[in-house]
Chains A and B, each alone.
Chain A
Amino acid sequence: MAEIIQEEKAGGKKKAKKHAPHIDMTPMVDLMCLLITFFMLATAFSKPKIMEIVLPERQTDPNAPTPRIAASRTMNILLGPDNKIYWYTGNVKPEEYNSPPPLNETNFSATGIRKLLLERNRALFKKIDFVSNEVVTGKLVISQDSLKGSIRQLKKDDDTGPIVLIKAYKKANYGNVVDIFDEMNICGVAHYMLVDITWYEEKMVETAAGIAPTTPTPAKK
């Protein structure tokens, strides 16, 4: 962009210039380029994104039946301290409350929880992947909205994938919760829910993590 201005030859009678003085605009253009780049990058990156979650309505009637789900499909994810994840499948029977089964430990990496979820959710993930691939390759021409709709329908119809119950131990942090929701979205898990941790599950986490138990055992009814 730089331009070379040739020096006027010295000597001879100096004549007054006839044409308008020429202003070198190069530094101004340079500066504007920089500002434009800055603003373009700043506007593109600053916009934060949102992740929607829906919580169930608060149950006001204590006598209302609790929803029942198949134990074989249930996967409990317990978010522990220090970014650790513990999980077990099925449920803990009441007689096992005081000596609950040991937990499996995993982490937030791609080979950790994601692999686990994908193994369990493979059938549904394949279906979703198939539909989105059809759209990407142009075999199926539908709008982005109806793609989302059909993926939602696939998730609704799913009856083999896991039902994930996410429970956070009190030493977990907000980042863990968002990360685990994110994993659910990545793996296309159809049914997941954030639920309260129970006292025996807190005890299980404490045993697994090797920290002193803090949860009192509730009195037997």
Chain B
Amino acid sequence: MPKIKLPTKSPHIDMTPMVDLFSVVLMFLMLTATMSQPEPAPVDTPFSISEKPTPNFNTMTLLLSKDDKVYLNFDNGPDTSLKYRPKILTEMGKRYNIEFNETELKAFEKYPSSMGVPISKMKDFLAAKDLRQKAAFDTGIPIDSTDNQLADWILFTRQINPNAQACIKGDSKTSYPLVKRVLDIMQDKNVKQFNLITTLDAVKINLAEIQK
């Protein structure tokens, strides 16, 4: 029987629609992806089963680093049009008799990540050119009872933006006394509800397991 030979012809698939679709998806994902801001201190957040996402705006985030420094960041969402940051800094300046000029306020507004600078060094910090120079001033916000600047920051943040929710982002190795101190300061300022920032780690237990 003679074999029927099919003509060998590589099928040519038009990939243009696929490429179009891919481009659209890629564009969408790139635009929606929130670029993670560089934090002044590396923080490994603890795990929990909570599935609530972090709020995008109206937050003040306290960063508690491993080496017991406190950093603060507020209103870092898309809500920057309300310009909370320069207002808070102006209030802080009034409280500590430091006058901040227009460029310094602008620099503070633009600063993308948490800051941990005593108010006395704030001018130098804002004048610093690049991130490396700025990092030298990151000594943490003073929380001693004699020089409790964190309490003032929280007070003014809540005066300027009453909706600000307190988020605590701590490293799992942060010592408890520091956490306790920060919680106490917040409680003194009448902040009662806290959001602890954690990483999701789903745990499921079932009834049969317990009854064993």
Contact = CB atoms under 8 A, between A and B. Distances in A.
Nearest to B22: A32
B145 interface: no
Interface stretch (A157-165, A176-184, A205-213): A176-184
A182 B54 contact: no
B132 to A, nearest CB: 25
Contacts of B23: 32
Interface stretch (A8-16, A55-63, A88-96, A98-106): A55-63
A56 B187 CA distance: 8
B192 A126 contact: no
A32 B196 CA distance: 37
A64 interface: no
B196 A168 contact: no
Interface residues of B, number: 60
A80 to B, nearest CB: 11
B90 interface: no
Interface residues of A, number: 57
A147 to B, nearest CB: 14
A51 B197 CA distance: 6
Nearest to B15: A25
Contacts of A114: 205
Contacts of A182: 46-50, 198
A117 to B, nearest CB: 10
B176 A79 contact: yes
Given A3-B12, A33-B22, A186-B49, A46 B36 contact: yes
B6 interface: no
A6 B10 contact: yes
A134 interface: no
A175 interface: yes
A178 B198 contact: yes
A8 to B, nearest CB: 14
Interface stretch (B94-102, B116-124, B165-173): B165-173
B136 interface: no
A178 B172 contact: yes
Contacts of B48: 49, 51, 178-179, 181-182, 185
A48 interface: yes
Nearest to A39: B29
B53 A126 contact: no
A122 B210 contact: yes
A101 B189 CA distance: 37
Interface in B168-212: 169-180, 183, 187-188, 190, 192-200, 203, 205-207, 210
A118 interface: yes
A25 B21 CA distance: 14
A6 B11 CA distance: 11
A175 B205 contact: no
B52 A178 contact: no
Contacts of B4: none
Given A47-B54, A48-B199, A54-B193, 18 more contacts: A28-B19, A39-B33, A40-B29, A42-B33, A48-B198, A49-B48, A50-B52, A50-B54, A50-B195, A50-B198, A54-B194, A55-B183, A57-B192, A174-B175, A174-B178, A177-B179, A182-B48, A186-B49
10 contacts: A6-B10, A29-B15, A43-B33, A46-B36, A50-B52, A55-B192, A57-B192, A173-B175, A178-B198, A185-B49
